[in-house]
Structure 1
Amino acid sequence: MTGDDYGQLIYLGLLGSVLAFWYFVQGRQKLGRTLQQMAAWVLIFLGTLAVIGLWSDIRGTVAPQQTVMAEDGRIALPQAPDGHYYATLEVNGSPIRFMVDTGASGTVLTRRDAERAGLEDDELAFYSEAMTANGMVRTAPVRLDTVALGPFTDERVPAYVNEGEMSQSLLGMSYLQRYGRIEIADGELILER
């Protein structure tokens, strides 16, 4: 836990104490019923804390995951609740999550993902431009040494690093065209070689 987490925990503890004190003062005559209600609220509070603390585990269990069928040469990406398709690829040995964008001509990394893939920010030359839904952005052309998705590994894959803010790296057609078949059916995006 960070210092901010401890501060928030202390704040919540103080707030809970003040509310509990007020509740006891208001209901002195009905102490038994007050204790029952307080116990119920404590359980609700603890349950909420447990869900918040375990949310990433819960989401990972409930959310559909990409499926690799190596023997068939297929990769099936389930449709996410937001309607998009996401894939986790090993870029230069680091797992990076991409949003699949068949409308994008190139594969574009965020600066943070580029750093995770071993591309140093001070070595990037942002001299090319790309038109996005938010207007023109400067990009740095790069070559990714290795890109792996399931059993498929490609070398020297062209990509771009976006100089601006992006929430998600995009997997565009410069990579997707390496597959012989791209199909969307039954809530899945299927890639085959």
Structure 2
Amino acid sequence: MTNDLMLGGLYLLMAMMLVLGSLMSRREPWAKLVKVALMWVTIFGAGFILFTFRDNLGFVAQRIKSEALGTPVVEGRTVRIPMAIDGHFWVDATINGVPAKFLVDSGATVTTVGNALAVEARLDRVEARDQLVRTGNGIVKVSSARADTIEVGSIERRNQRVYVADNDDLNVVGMSFLSSLTRWGVEGRWLILEP
């Protein structure tokens, strides 16, 4: 990047010399010459910035898209999930290859899915719906099941225990998934997941 910076600076200096040389040869009032010179400096400065940081512009575009749509940003093996407008972290994930929207909730002990998603993902229920769990919305009856795979961005976990609830809009990535990660945490308006 240092070579790019030096090369970009050299281009900018050469452009400024050409512009100032051509402006000096004209017989215009100084105010107009200064105005035109500043315009050209701005144009070449913008070109310099774009040239120097061209490798990072892809990340900026990806970050803007993720902020607008709520999709995770994958940087190598790290997954960055933007905070939604409601203050929660929502992510498009898959369970047994079936995509669904999940709330990432560190207060949930076990990853939980709604009954409709469990049927679509063909989750084998281990037990009858006789367990009671306390949620933010009260006590819910659930049954245990096993998911072959749960994927959040580029992170995949196999043979995960999940709960299945009657409530079809209850899809939560809980601590059973989060605790399997090397690191996870909130940094500003982003939830960072590292496998």
- The TM tier, using the shorter chain, reads 0.5 to 0.7
CA distance in 2, matches of 1:98, 1:137: 18
Residue 134 of structure 1: how far off its partner (Å): 3.0
TM-score by length of 2: 0.60
Q: Could you list the per-position Cα deviations for residues 84-105 of structure 1 after superposition, in whole angstroms to 9, with x for gaps in the alignment? A: 0012222111112110000111
TM-score by length of 1: 0.61
- 2:150 aligned with 1:147, yes or no? yes
Partner-residue secondary structure (3-state), 1:182: strand
Which structure 2 residues correspond to residues 1-193 of structure 1 after superposition, within 5 A?
62-69=68-75, 71=76, 73-119=77-123, 125-163=128-166, 165=167, 167-193=169-195
1:85 to 1:119, Cα distance in 2 relative to 1, 3 A: same
* 2:186 partner amino acid: I
Residue 124 of structure 1: how far off its partner (Å): 6.5
CA distance in 2, matches of 1:132, 1:166: 15
Partner-residue secondary structure (3-state), 1:115: helix
Residue 109 of structure 1: how far off its partner (Å): 0.4
Structure 1 vs Structure 2 CA RMSD:
2.4
CA distance in 2, matches of 1:61, 1:134: 28
CA distance in 2, matches of 1:139, 1:157: 16
Structure 2: 5+ residue stretches without partners = 1-64
| Amino-acid identity (%) | 29
CA distance in 2, matches of 1:76, 1:130: 29
Structure 1: 5+ residue stretches without partners = 1-58
CA distance in 2, matches of 1:178, 1:126: 26
Partner-residue secondary structure (3-state), 1:81: coil
Q: Segments of 4+ in structure 1 off by > 3 A? A: 59-62
Whether the aligned pair in 1 keeps the contact of 2:116 and 2:168 (CA below 8 Å) is no
Q: Could you list the per-position Cα deviations for residues 149-187 of structure 1 after superposition, in whole angstroms to 9, with x for gaps in the alignment? A: 233222110010012x25331111011111111121121
1:179 to 1:120, Cα distance in 2 relative to 1, 3 A: closer
* 1:180 partner amino acid: T
CA distance in 2, matches of 1:186, 1:179: 20
